[in-house]
Chain A
Amino acid sequence: MLGYAGRILHVDLSSGRIWTEVLNEDYAKKYIGGIGLGMRLYLDHSKPGVDPFSAENPLVLATGPLSGTMVPTGGNGHAFVSKSPQTFGVGETKAHGHFGTELKRAGYDAVIFYGKSERPVYLWLDDDAVQLLDAQYLWGKSPQETEDAIKKELKDAYIRVASIGVAGEKLVRIACVINEKTRACGRTGLGAVMGSKNLKAIAVRGSKDIAVANKDRLLELIKVQHERMKGPAARKYRTLGTPENVLVLNALGAMPTNNFTGAVFQGADRISGEYLNERYVAKVIGCSSCAMRCEHIAVVPEGPYKGTTTRIEYEPLWAMGPNCGVGNLDAILKGMDLSNYYGVDAISIGGIISFAMDLYKNGIVNKETVGLELNFGNAETMIEMIKRVSLREDFGDTLAEGVKLAAERIGNGADKYAVHIKGVEMTGYDIRGLKTAALGYAVSFRGADHNRHGAYGPDVSGKVNRFKAEKGRGKLVKETEDLYSIIDSIIVCKFSRGTYVKGFDDLAALYAAVTGIEMNGEELRRAGERINNLGRLINIREGLTRKDDSLPWKIMHVPIPDEGPSKGSHVTQEELDLLLDDYYEVRGWNKEGMPTPEKLKDLDMEDLAYIIKDKPVKRKKHTQTEE
């Protein structure tokens, strides 16, 4: 079992007790690593129905079996898993950079945090020496300042740090965990879970060797991957980066604007990947072991935000730009930088602000109640709101609950403008006219997300009629979901997905060369399916049902108004039901979206059949969806 460190670290923040455990080989083979192993460990070590912010909610940090090796993009990932304060089901989130590499070098496949520390602490992992150190002096600092301060305190620039910002401390439900200053475990609010435990940061230094089972075979495979990464499969990420999407999606009428009111942005040319690379991008850097490099670092050249330096990606650019009606690129970049500074998910923050702007436009809130003119397109207000939400100031305190809970609190029909799935704010694909993607979004176990399934692929490429809901889409979603679950568990980068031309077979070959565990593509695919069922089972245990596989009100009731190919498109309840039925059937689940005992047996998961036998836990009122 090379590749794996073979060791799990347990940290009880309440008592300060720290102990290690040998990694169960059966779990390694069945759940691989990353989110798969993380979710299984979470399930084993948690009770159903706990509040995400209570001491009873554990937080799991996991690496993948390839972490620490030279497998391109595979050497550097890590994942967090816990109960999400947004979905009240399973929350999982990954990041790349250098942190995962270092954690594996220190000798851990996973770290499980229990309880809650009495005062702010950070975990210092120096190979086998594990300590909880005082973080009072770091409280209130940004992740970037925290990283610098810890490196200074411990006197080693090669130490890697993952930490939360002020938003995590203040339990803002969209808080993230940031490593290497610009890399974020962004979605599902697990930074707030970390904050609820008074855990400011995790600092790691590892000096253990990472040995692999078959060195020569691995180098052969890596050589092939390097070549593919120089080719067309990775071209987008190497050249313009994900902001290339701006013009592509805009032309399709698939870039949501003004909180999913329209789907075409008039100022797209001035915020495009092309425009950015010409005027703003100063350098493209890479994560540990990566042979693609995609991280575009942009600098604002002039104006009031001059000198702002930040990593750029399409999603946050869209969220704080077109989705808020903002076309001022300088301000959007400032917004991205501030999101990292406060430690909030740069996608959800845009979703929250656009939600507030929509409420303002529709008279549900006004200047007296929110203290600001929250007009779509107002860049200064957008910037100010990032601060207010992150610091829970004024109206920001309500919005810091995320759009779903904020809408419940505001009432007065606000829920119609809350564009979320399972409590997680939408991402930058207008699924009103991307109906395979709409299914993928609806069934994602971590809520609204393109990265759980990539089901926009067949829609955008024209492989299917994207305006039509029909049988067969369930299979497409299932296939990409299973692949994405392996990508998130073996932990390679989604941007490299096109370089695994034989899909599971390529990934299985890498896995076998590193670990020595012979596994073929089909076995790995089954593991992917198993991991998807696992995510589903945790959600069922927490009381989520078919009703939660829903779409935002606007997606179902406001047809795309813009002239162009997508005009008039939206998803009806009948269409959604058709898609869900098809998907559940392909998955071997019942009509309620629950895995059948036969399916669990088929996937060698009978040990978890108790979850579907027990009645789902009655959820507390504040977590309930409308009955």
Chain B
Amino acid sequence: MANAPKTEAAKWKLVSCDPEKCTGCAVCEYICSLHKENVFSAQKSRIRTMRIHPWINISIACRPCSPAPFVTACPRDALKQSEETGVIVVDDEKCDGCSWCIEACDYGAVTLHPEKKIVRICDTCEGKPECVKWCPEEALDFVTRDIMAQKARIAVSKKLFKEAMEAQGIKP
């Protein structure tokens, strides 16, 4: 399983967060760590919430790049990316926690397990991410990039044509 060719990436789904909806409640962190590690722990969560300013909130998980730079960066070949899903699988035997991958990831989506000292990355809960299921604001979605773009187009259209829609009695 080498690095996946670019053509595959269009099919991959990722956990995306709508910052307009995100309230910074971190329920995603809670459920992720509980599901994966049986405890509540922000550090053990594969998705992390960030509040930069009271109204700037976002949760970030792996956004599988193609090719993922940190897969290449791993000096011990501990990381493999699935061609089918884009999920990056960590070989716990090989990973020694050197954290080159953490440095290489532009999104801060790779974290170091505080006790095991090996890295952890979102595995999408086998295609059924718990964080998406539990997000109280429905700010999280599990989508392909194409659907992500489509959602943005729908949102922007609604914004642009708000008045016209109201005049026609179309509920946005």
**Residues of chain A having any CB pair with chain B under 8 Å:** 68-70, 72, 75, 98, 105, 157-158, 181-182, 207-212, 215, 219, 226, 229-230, 282-293, 295, 297, 309, 311
Interface string of B125-152 (1 = CB under 8 A from A): 0000000001011000000000000000
Complex: A182 Cα to B25 Cα, angstroms: 15
On whether A297 and B40 interact (CB within 8 A), knowing A75-B30, A290-B25, the answer reads no
Q: Is the CB of A285 within 8 A of B34?
A: no
**Residues of chain B having any CB pair with chain A under 8 Å:** 23-27, 30-31, 34, 37-44, 50-51, 54-55, 57, 114, 134, 136-137
Beyond A181-B54, A295-B54, list 16 extra A-B contacts (CB 8 Å): A69-B30, A105-B41, A105-B42, A157-B50, A182-B54, A207-B43, A210-B39, A210-B41, A282-B55, A283-B54, A286-B136, A288-B25, A290-B23, A291-B25, A293-B136, A297-B55
User: Could you list 16 A-B pairs, sorted by A, with CB under 8 Å?
Assistant: A70-B40, A207-B41, A209-B44, A210-B40, A212-B40, A282-B55, A283-B55, A285-B57, A286-B25, A289-B26, A289-B27, A290-B27, A291-B25, A295-B23, A297-B54, A311-B54
Using CB atoms, name the residue of chain A closest to B130.
Answer: A219
Which residues of the other chain, A, contact B44 by a CB distance below 8 angstroms? 209
Which residues of the other chain, A, contact B55 by a CB distance below 8 angstroms? 282-283, 285, 297, 309
Q: Is the CB of A158 within 8 A of B42?
A: yes
Q: Is the CB of A289 within 8 A of B30?
A: yes
Partner of B27, one of A70, A157, A207: A70
Which residues of the other chain, B, contact A75 by a CB distance below 8 angstroms? 30, 40
Q: Is the CB of A70 within 8 A of B34?
A: yes
Which residues of the other chain, A, contact B114 by a CB distance below 8 angstroms? 207
Complex: A288 Cα to B43 Cα, angstroms: 15
Q: Is the CB of A68 within 8 A of B25?
A: no
Which residues of the other chain, B, contact A230 by a CB distance below 8 angstroms? 136
Complex: A181 Cα to B31 Cα, angstroms: 26
Using CB atoms, name the residue of chain A closest to B19.
Answer: A283
Which residues of the other chain, B, contact A68 by a CB distance below 8 angstroms? 40
Which residues of the other chain, B, contact A292 by a CB distance below 8 angstroms? 136
Complex: A289 Cα to B135 Cα, angstroms: 10
Which residues of the other chain, A, contact B37 by a CB distance below 8 angstroms? 209
Complex: A293 Cα to B136 Cα, angstroms: 9
Q: Is the CB of B23 within 8 A of A284?
A: yes
> Chain B nearest CB: distance from A18 CB in Å?
24
Q: Is the CB of B41 within 8 A of A286?
A: no
On whether A70 and B31 interact (CB within 8 A), knowing A182-B54, A309-B54, the answer reads yes
> Chain A nearest CB: distance from B115 CB in Å?
9
Complex: A309 Cα to B55 Cα, angstroms: 10
- Among B37, B41, B54, B57, which residue has the most Cβ atoms of chain A within 10 A? B54
Which residues of the other chain, A, contact B39 by a CB distance below 8 angstroms? 209-211
Using CB atoms, name the residue of chain A closest to B25.
Answer: A286
Q: Is the CB of B38 within 8 A of A291?
A: no
Which residues of the other chain, B, contact A226 by a CB distance below 8 angstroms? 134, 136
Complex: A247 Cα to B76 Cα, angstroms: 65
> Chain A nearest CB: distance from B82 CB in Å?
28
- The 9 A-B residue pairs with the shortest CB-CB distance, nearest first, are A283-B55, A286-B23, A291-B136, A70-B30, A209-B39, A286-B25, A210-B40, A293-B23, A285-B23
Which residues of the other chain, A, contact B54 by a CB distance below 8 angstroms? 181-182, 283, 285, 295, 297, 309, 311
- Among B25, B41, B43, B54, which residue has the most Cβ atoms of chain A within 10 A? B25
On whether A209 and B41 interact (CB within 8 A), knowing A283-B54, A286-B25, A290-B25, the answer reads yes
